[in-house]
Amino acid sequence: MISAKLLRVLAPKIARRYSSECAKDGFTVTVIGAAGGVGQPLSLLLKLNPAISELRLHDLVDVPGVTADLSHVETSCKMVFFTGTDHSEAICGADVVVVPAGVPRKPGMSRSDLFTTNAQVVYDFAVVMAKTNPGAIAIIITNPVNSVVPVVCEVLQKAGKLDPRKILGCSTLDSVRANVFLGEATNTDPKNAYVPVVGGHSGPTIIPLWSRSNPKLCLTNKKLASLTKRVQEAGTQVVKAKEGKGSATLSTAYAASRLTYCVLRAMKGETNIVESCYVASDIYPGLKYLATPLLLGKNGVEKNLGLGTINDEEKKLFCGAVEELQKDIKTGEEFVKSKNVK
């Protein structure tokens, strides 16, 4: 258990790093899938954010207990819960909706297996969002991100309610991992490390741009390739290490909270906030969605900063990822078509 004393220490540190001083009227944030392995630690981290005045938790089961538990954390954020299959009340009126709902990856599970279940979860969410609150910023954590973000956008598009600036696929965990590994390689505090990450959010589609890292990496191409592989396979490493008892829940929750904090800061008017996310994109021909560094603003994505300058090795990796991304995107689009959404 986390003691009250420890929470008093953690809350201001987290707030100082990812959140500016908040106004009296804070934001309303909803977590869909709040009782799950990612949802619970994510909700705790969001409860510590002083920019959030109301935190709404939704899940099919167990969410009353999670809400009661978090209500004892000594911050002024109001806790509200919603349960059952209908999450319209939880979404209606929220400024930001964060979606970690769905099943986690298990050993031996393919991305297609994961998609079969989670696509329906995200589809149902998008239908409700289109009807009740299409103006909210949605942060999609549910995997496979490469395919389910297109599901959300296609549903909203068919309903005539899509604002692509506001649908963010959370590929932030790839950035977090790259920063950690860069810190280890350069003996630098990871919070002072930065690596742009582009592509997508699965295996070979994850492309850390070491050529633009800060601090700079002075490694051979072979060692850089090994480091890239480590980022790409980090999720699998966690799944194996947990021996079938879970996936990367804690680091995912941390990464999602970091992105949410940054989104809220930008919504309040803070400038020069850049995060890499998987979004609807016209940056690269033939790819409707792509993860790139984004300048965040009051309405979500203010400017897509694109791929930027990349070296020959990174170009090869990116070109190799294009076909995989196209397949993933098509999978999401075809799923929505099969639903005959009008």
DSSP state of 2: -
Q: Which two tokens stand for residue 116?
A: 């079969």
Side-chain-side CA neighbours of 156 within 13 Å: the count stands at 26
Establish whether the linkage from the previous residue to 150 is cis, with ω within 30° of 0: no
* C-alpha to C-alpha distance for 55 and 59, rounded to whole angstroms: 13
Whether the CB-CB separation of 118 and 145 falls below 8 Å is answered with no
342, burial (CB in 10 Å: exposed 0-12, middle 13-18, buried 19+): exposed
114: tokens are: 């994961």
Identified catalytic residue from 58, 72, 87, 201: 201
Q: What DSSP letter does each residue of 94-136 carry, written as one string?
A: -SEEEE--SPPP-TT--HHHHHHHHHHHHHHHHHHHHHH-TTS
Residue with tokens 């103006």: 135
Angle at 299 between CA 306 and CA 287, to 5 degrees: 35
Residues sharing a CB contact under 8 Å with residue 95, sequence separation 6 or more, in sequence order: 27, 28, 29, 136, 137, 264, 267
Contact criterion met (CB below 8 Å) for 187 and 287: no
Give, for 52, the enclosing helix (H) or strand (E): strand 52-59
58 flagged as catalytic: no
Q: Residue 300, Cα to own-chain centre: how many angstroms?
A: 13
SS3 190: helix
- Catalytic machinery residues: 201
